[in-house]
A and B are shown apart, each in its own frame.
Chain A
Amino acid sequence: MRFHKTVNIVLIIIALSFNCVQAQNPRKISGEMISVSSGYYIPLFKVGNEPTKQFIKQFYIQPHLVTNIEYLEFVKANPEWRKSKVKRIFADGNYLRMWNGDFDLGSQVKPNEPVTDISWFAANAYCKWIGMRLPTVSEWEFAAIKNNKIFFQERINEWTMDFNETNIMASSVCGGAGAIANTPEDYAAFLRYSYRDNLKANYSLDDLGFRCVSDSPEKYSQQLNVFVVKK
């Protein structure tokens, strides 16, 4: 009930914000934040002697990946994330490589499609800027299992806060990875984990985007307000 009320507030704020940004044709930023209620999650990998089940606290996750037009607003407000200014240790040479310039998406990039070619540092900074954070691997997997239509339809991989902490290659080469998995038949999960494992935080890749999460809807709505004001 409390959540519904908050959603309404968010909707109102977004409705108001539309007046300001309509010219840039943004997609709806939210209104449908997905509430992921708390529960137990069985991670792909066993972790030492810890119990296999992991408790995930309730959180709220964006229903869509951050788009180019949304990211453009972030770049405008934060000059250090401009294509021409970003430091190589924070984003490699492919950062926003499809964009024509600092504020020019060019003809190949569609405003309402997920922004890709952004590094972990960039994604992390964006989420902070809107008062949110990146999801953890466990949160992302947990949310994806519950809402797989929303999470797997775009065929874009997503940054997570602790993307390379499992390091399955280091712990087990070849067939060994199956032995330390809770669900060795979940090949799709293996693909995601090995993808994450091989990332470095400054990599910018064509099929890698992100979305943000928040621990409470109130916080999100508050910060979104700030976001809207910035626009």
Chain B
Amino acid sequence: MSKRIVQKPLLIVFAAMLTIYTVILASGCSGDSNKIEGVEYANLTYAPDVPQPILRDHPSKVIVNLETMQVEGRLADGVKYNFWTFGGKVPGEFIRVREGDEVEFHLDNSPLCSVPHSIDLHAVSGPGGGASASQTMPGHSSTFTFKADHPGLYIYHCATQPVPLHIANGMYGLIYVEPKKALPQVDHEYYIMQSEFYTTGDYGAPGLQDFSLDKALQENPTYVVFNGSVGALTGDNALQAKVGESIRLFVGNIGPNLSSSFHIIGVVFDKVYMFGGTEVTQKNVQTVSIPAGGAAIVEFKVKVPGTYIIVDHSIFRAFNKGAVGMLTVTGAENKEIFSGKHSDNLFYGSDLDKKLENNNSDSSSPTASTSSTNNSPTSIDDIVAAGKQIFSRTCFACHQPDGKGVPNVFPPLAQSNFLNADKDRAIGIVLHGKTGTVTVNKKQYNNVMPAQNLSDDQIAAVLTYVYHSFGNSGKVVTKEDVTKVRNGK
């Protein structure tokens, strides 16, 4: 009885405090609201574009309409594939919502599809990430709602059986749940998705390619690509920026099997939001590991103009399976950050070279030649032999030991109309490199060949070798020819 009397004044005080607190909340002093206000349609974009940042300071109801479609499309030049897609392209449309939003998701399966489809959004908390709620037959539409309660960058993919096939055929994309406190503004945001394709034919085999279950089970993809096809991010499709601009990349890797070692040649990432989470986990990072079914956000500033190559640094995938993209940066040079090449001088070998030379005095290698008057070999056969050695150190990785190049990526030297047509042009390309579109034997290539760090002698030798090999025209390139082109005459 006495206890109750004591408690009564306390209760009154508590009630008064509660009233004050409620008044504060109602007057809006507590910062941004958690109350859902308004309805809007999500703005969806195709890669490499990202929807504009969300400027709201409150959550809303957001309606997302995504249509699953099966379309025949280009996997590489001359190579076609029957893609299964979200929105008609691979990767699927980028979805951007804000933390706290109530997302009403409509999954429409085109009547032209042959099989049911669905969606598992890794941003959803709930069984299957929406998969069971969204199983949809062709010509039907499913609706479900979820709370975007976890900010960050997430994969979405189809989750209809057999799930690996639906993913391997192209059914994936990214959803970004923008944190209440948005990331700092940048000049460019881009969307990159890495994925694999398993085709019955080899890399570059022309025509419509079927899915190869064997290769998929062996986790041995025919193609590893950015944004759904070889060349989707190169040449005219390269990402663009100007010197001094800041860039944020939303990068996903769906696999379906491989992890990505995401790297941009010549760029150090200033900030990395590992796994697509909301914290900067590292600064100053060269390569970001992105698991299959995972993502990462990277930010950096471009300081020097040029072409930056985007790769999976599991580098055979970049060289031979298509995992290459480009970022083209235009603007003024900054010699303080990067000088470019200052000079090119002769080098007669180090002391170590000389020691090796004494131990191996019968060496016929042209670099180890002891001829005091002239380093260059004399007879055509010697020149061709020397050129071959240079070729197999410098050129073969791209143009291949047989000179046939890599279909769609690196042009052939073998029986190349482009090569045989113009000797001086060939010298110029070895000297200065070549960027952009070239047509070789009626096929277009769009890639970058860097300038080669070779002396005039070496360039003469390697080109003479190339012209004397692979069914080419048998031209001779002399040191004088090279010097003439180098001096621009």
Residues of A within 8 A of B (CB): 94, 168-170, 173-175, 177-178, 185, 187, 190-191, 193-195, 197-199, 203, 205-207
Closest to A196 in B: B116
- The reply to whether A174 and B159 contact each other, CB–CB distance below 8 Å, is yes
Contact stretch, chosen from B126-134, B185-193, B454-462: B126-134
Q: Does B138 contact A (CB under 8 A)?
A: yes
- The reply to whether A174 and B131 contact each other, CB–CB distance below 8 Å, is yes
Which of B111, B140, B213 sits near A187, CB closer than 8 Å?
A: B213
Which of A94, A175, A194 sits near B115, CB closer than 8 Å?
A: A194
Closest to A184 in B: B162
- The reply to whether A174 and B165 contact each other, CB–CB distance below 8 Å, is no
Q: How far is the CB of A172 from chain B (nearest CB, A)?
A: 9
Q: Which B residues lie within 8 Å of A203 (CB)?
A: 137, 140
- The reply to whether A205 and B138 contact each other, CB–CB distance below 8 Å, is yes
Which of B115, B128, B136 sits near A191, CB closer than 8 Å?
A: B115
Residues of B within 8 A of A (CB): 111, 114-116, 120, 127-128, 131-132, 135-140, 159-165, 213, 217
Q: Which B residues lie within 8 Å of A197 (CB)?
A: 116, 135, 161
- The reply to whether B131 and A173 contact each other, CB–CB distance below 8 Å, is yes
- The reply to whether A168 and B161 contact each other, CB–CB distance below 8 Å, is yes
Q: Which A residues lie within 8 Å of B139 (CB)?
A: 94, 205-206
Q: Which B residues lie within 8 Å of A190 (CB)?
A: 161-162, 165
Which of B111, B127, B128, B161 sits near A194, CB closer than 8 Å?
A: B161
Q: Which A residues lie within 8 Å of B135 (CB)?
A: 169, 197-198
Closest to A186 in B: B162
The CA of A94 and the CA of B132, in the complex, are separated in Å by 24
- The reply to whether B213 and A185 contact each other, CB–CB distance below 8 Å, is yes
Taking A185-B217, A197-B161 as known contacts, 7 extra A-B pairs with beta carbons closer than 8 A to each other, sorted by chain A number, are A173-B120, A173-B128, A185-B213, A191-B162, A191-B165, A198-B116, A203-B140
Which of A169, A185, A206 sits near B132, CB closer than 8 Å?
A: A169
- The reply to whether B162 and A195 contact each other, CB–CB distance below 8 Å, is no
Q: How far is the CB of A207 from chain B (nearest CB, A)?
A: 6
- The reply to whether A177 and B162 contact each other, CB–CB distance below 8 Å, is yes
The CA of A195 and the CA of B159, in the complex, are separated in Å by 13
The CA of A194 and the CA of B116, in the complex, are separated in Å by 7
- The reply to whether B137 and A174 contact each other, CB–CB distance below 8 Å, is no
The CA of A191 and the CA of B136, in the complex, are separated in Å by 14
Q: Which B residues lie within 8 Å of A206 (CB)?
A: 111, 138-139
- Among all A-B residue pairs, the 7 with the closest Cβ atoms: A190-B162, A194-B161, A198-B116, A173-B128, A190-B161, A187-B162, A198-B135
Closest to B120 in A: A174
- The reply to whether B114 and A207 contact each other, CB–CB distance below 8 Å, is yes
The CA of A168 and the CA of B136, in the complex, are separated in Å by 14
- The reply to whether A169 and B114 contact each other, CB–CB distance below 8 Å, is no
Closest to B168 in A: A187
- The reply to whether A195 and B128 contact each other, CB–CB distance below 8 Å, is no
Q: How far is the CB of B23 from chain A (nearest CB, A)?
A: 47
Q: Which B residues lie within 8 Å of A170 (CB)?
A: 132
Closest to B117 in A: A198
Q: Which B residues lie within 8 Å of A193 (CB)?
A: 161
- The reply to whether B163 and A177 contact each other, CB–CB distance below 8 Å, is yes
Q: Which A residues lie within 8 Å of B164 (CB)?
A: 175, 187
Q: How far is the CB of B444 from chain A (nearest CB, A)?
A: 35
The CA of A197 and the CA of B137, in the complex, are separated in Å by 10
- The reply to whether B111 and A174 contact each other, CB–CB distance below 8 Å, is no
Closest to A177 in B: B161
Q: How far is the CB of B123 from chain A (nearest CB, A)?
A: 16
Q: Which B residues lie within 8 Å of A173 (CB)?
A: 120, 127-128, 131-132, 159
